[in-house]
């Protein structure tokens, strides 16, 4: 069994436990949705996931997919990125370390970034104001090297 399949299995277990804790159960639909979610790399929209799921099992309704996606977020398996264009993108968060995003405003490429110094200062800034930090979102927007090169 490959490493990646291994991670997926574990993630699925985590999801099943989350369901149990909330008196919910793993259903065939949820199983297909979660597996599709786990197989899909990178950042994708709910709509894209709908397409992928329907490719496997077209009888699954979009409402179920949206509902399951919400469960995935609640369970901590998924995280959503909101880049202010109306719709959300999702990505895996189980077995992935926290990171922020650097986004090319030209080609829309998204790079995951992480900086210890920033994370530390965020905590400090919040606590100086008496806040207990629970989470944060940071998006850096710029022009990536490739796009800067072609200078369309």
Element (H, E) at 122: helix 116-128
Q: Which of 58, 134, 150, 152 binds a copy of itself (CB under 8 A)?
A: 134
82 is in an annotated binding site: no
Given DNA, a copy of itself, none, residue 107, with its beta carbon under 5 to 8 Å by kind, binds none
Confirm if 44 and 65 have CB atoms less than 8 A apart: no
Q: Does 118 engage in binding with a copy of itself (CB under 8 A)?
A: yes
Nearer to a copy of itself, 52 or 102 (CB): 102
CA terminus-to-terminus distance, the chain: 46
For residue 113, count other CB atoms closer than 10 A to its CB.
13
Binding residues for DNA restricted to 66-85, rule: CB under 7 A: 66-68, 70
CA distance linking residue 107 with residue 152, whole number of Å: 11
**Shortest gap between Cβ of 40 and a copy of itself (angstroms)?**
21
d(C-alpha 122, C-alpha 35), whole Å: 34
The least CB distance from residue 149 to a copy of itself, in Å, is: 10
Binding site for DNA (CB under 7 A): 19, 23-25, 27-30, 45-47, 59-64, 66-68, 70, 86-88
């Amino acid at each position: 069994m490959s490493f990646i399949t291994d991670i997926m299995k574990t993630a699925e277990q985590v999801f099943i436990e989350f369901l149990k804790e909330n008196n919910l159960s793993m259903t065939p639909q949820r199983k297909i949705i979660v597996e599709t979610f786990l197989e899909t790399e990178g950042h994708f929209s709910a709509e894209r996931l709908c397409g992928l799921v329907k490719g496997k099992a077209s009888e699954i309704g979009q409402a179920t997919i949206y509902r399951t996606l919400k469960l995935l977020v609640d369970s901590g398996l998924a995280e959503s990125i909101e880049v202010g264009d109306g719709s959300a993108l999702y990505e895996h968060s189980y077995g992935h370390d926290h990171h922020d995003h650097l986004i090319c405003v030209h080609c829309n490429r998204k790079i995951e970034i992480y900086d210890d110094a920033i994370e530390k200062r965020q905590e400090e800034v919040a606590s100086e104001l008496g806040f207990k930090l629970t989470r944060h979102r940071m998006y850096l927007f710029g022009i990536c090297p490739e796009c800067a090169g072609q200078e369309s």
